[in-house]
Amino acid sequence: MTLEELRASFADENHPANKNPDRLDFFRELCQESRRIEMELNSAYHTPEQIVEIMSRLTHRAVDPTFRLFPPFTADFGKNIVFGKNVFVNAGCRFQDQGGITIGDGVLIGHNVVLATATHDLAPSKSRKLHYKPIVIGDNAWIGSNAVILQGVTVGEWAVVAAGAVVTRDVEPYTVVGGVPAKFIRRVDNDTEDGSPVDYTAGHI
C-alpha cells in the first residue's frame, strides 16, 4: 500500500484500499512516525528554518520557506495536511487530518485551534466507526484562538472565525462568524479591490 492510496481511502469509504489487509498496520506505522516527529518538534528549540524542515517530514510534502509555526503542535496522522505560503500557526494547535486539511496562502491560525476531519457514527452498535470529510481554509482567512472547525467545512478567503467559535458549516468569503455553533456576524470590507498588495511581512515573526 502507498501513502497516496491510504489518503484516498479516507476520502472514499468504498475505495479498494479500505479492503487491503495491510491498511491498518500501515496507518498505525505512519501515526507512530508522526508521534516521533512531533516529539522532536515539541521538546526542543528549533529555528524557523528547522521547523519548516520538520513539518516537511511530518506531512511528507514540501512546506514553503515562508511557513511559520510556534510549537507545541500535534496532528493525529500528519500526512494529509497541505500548507500554502505565508501561513502562520500559533502554539497549541491540534489537527485531526485523516480526512484531509488544506490551508491556503496567507492563513493565520490562533492559539489552540482544533481542526477535526473525523466524526463517529451515532448508532451505539457502530460508535467506533469513523467517517471523514476534508477541511479547507481559503487564502488569507483568520482563525481565532480556541476555535474548533469540524469535518467537511470550507472557510472562504479573507473570512474571520472568532475566538472560541465552533464551526459546523461553510463560512462565506469576506465574512466574520462566531459563537457555538458559529453564525454570521458581519461582512469584511475588501480593501484590496483596488489592487493594493497584501504586506505579508507585517507582523511576521
The side-by-side arrangement of strands in the sheet containing 135-137 is 81-83, 101-103, 135-137, 154-155
Contact 146, 167 (CB under 8 A): no
Q: Out of 111, 120, 131, 204, which one is annotated catalytic?
A: 120
Contact 110, 128 (CB under 8 A): no
DSSP, res 173: T
Q: Which residues pair with 82 in a beta bridge?
A: 102
120 is catalytic: yes
Q: How is residue 204 written as a grid cell?
A: 511576521
Return the active site residues.
120
